Amino acid sequence: MNIQTRKTKKNTMNSQAQPYQPLTSENAAVVLVDHQVGLMTGVRDYSTGELKHNVVALAKAAKALKLPIVVTTTARDSMWGPTFPELVEALPDIKIIDRSTVNAWDDPRVAAAIEATGRKKLIIAGISLEVCAAFPAITAIGKGYEAYVAVDASGTFSDTKREAGLLRMQQAGVIVSDYATLMVEILKDNARPEAAAVYNALDMPWATLVGQISKAYGKQSAAA
């Protein structure tokens, strides 16, 4: 067994030994990195429509759960263009921080905005997955935060980049998941008053069908 293999095995064992501490509305924040029109044109692991849907759903659900949200772009006016309009519309009250650094955390304004949330569990999504999401997530781990990356609210330019990015993040201790699971974990209880808004934000077709079935049975019961 070589040194790298031993290190990877040790990191995996350490992460498995840590007790489960769920995401909550009180300990989590969302960081959205570089969901820009120019970058989206190169994404190959998700269609543009699906990726837009997932990012907006994450943003709306986070808003319904009252999570702090930090949004940033890079080289907005020179290279990669603006944040895609649907996300801007979903978060009208949030100022988007434009920067030049590759790693979002290297910009003092972004770092300060994240730190100002007071949250130690960060849900991160970005384009591209292996850079814009991975770099700040790995940096967060090094600074004592817990980092979760919503893979399906990110996106990248090839299968190789996707696989390499996922592997690198997992080796660093980043937790990878999908956006809906992370939001439902925070919701925790379907009796919460925010539940309807969260599920509406997630806009999951199967959940809509379940609601339609429930509504239909309700009408039948009332008729009986």
Catalytic machinery residues: 132
Q: Phi and psi at residue 143, in whole multiples of 5°? A: -100, 10
Q: Which residues touch 119 (CB under 8 Å, ≥6 apart)?
A: 27, 28, 29, 67, 68
Q: How many Cβ atoms from other residues are within 10 Å of residue 166's Cβ?
A: 18
* Whether the Cβ atoms of residue 134 and residue 174 lie closer than 8 Å to each other: yes
Q: Which residues touch 87 (CB under 8 Å, ≥6 apart)?
A: 32, 35, 52, 55, 56, 59, 71
Which tokens hold the place of 108? 């003092």
**3-state SS, residue 74:** strand
Residue with tokens 């949030």: 94
Strands (E), the chain: 28-33, 69-74, 97-99, 121-126, 146-150, 175-177
